[in-house]
Amino acid sequence: MRINKYISETGFCSRRETNRLIEAKRITINGVICEHGATVENGDLVLIDGKPLGSKGEPIYLALNKPVGITCTAAKHIEGNIIDFVNYNERIFPIGRLDKASEGLILLTNDGDIVNKIMKSEYNHEKEYIVTVDKPFTDSFIEGMENGVEILGVKTKPCHVTRISDYVFRIILTQGLNRQIRRMSKVFGYKVVKLERIRIMNIKLDQLCIGQWRELTKEELEQLKLRLQ
């Protein structure tokens, strides 16, 4: 089993965070510093910072209304990281990212399998945002955003955009490029001044206050797993 999958299944951190640990040379396998692409067999001793991994325990699934200023990383050395902010009594890590300047819904878990399924772009999972820009926008802006925008060397996938007011729109994406909405808006000459994610697939922010988190309901989790099949 590849080291990334092995560590994510223990619930220690995600595959993406495992890559960072490998780059920092913090993982060893049988006393040898781990390299990218390494595999683990039964009986191998995997240590992180010289300490063995614990078992995952009971699965945990949380929804957090992330405030502006919190960084979506499990890296403890980063000030304002999401793990210290939530301060949960078990080891968890975020599913995906929501940039530091944005707020709203993000999921956290110790279930590496569900992270990998959600993160795979080919599943085309919906994420919904409410966005405020710095000046009134036109109908041609909406049409341009919906049809796709050239950013980061690629054209974004078609998406659904609806006007809420002269400055505010709702957008539903099925991909997650780095700072995608901000970059898309900038192409048309607009600056995002507020960005809030209100939904990930069937999980909604609803009345969850900024900075608060809750456990997913049984119904939410069942629907989520059905969509990931």
Q: Say what angle helices 112-119 and 3-10 make with each other, to 10 degrees.
A: 120
Catalytic position from the list 99, 134, 139, 206: 99
Cβ(158)–Cβ(122) under 8 Å?
no
SS3 71: strand
Q: How far apart are CA 86 and CA 148, in angstroms?
A: 35
Task: For residue 166, indicate whether it is catalytic.
Answer: no
Element (H, E) at 119: helix 112-119
Residue 81, amino acid: N
Closest CA to 211 of 38, 41, 87, 59: 87
Side-chain-side CA neighbours of residue 111 (13 Å): 16
* DSSP β-bridge partners for residue 132: 168, 194
Closest CA to 114 of 125, 102, 105: 125
- Which residues are known to be catalytic? 99
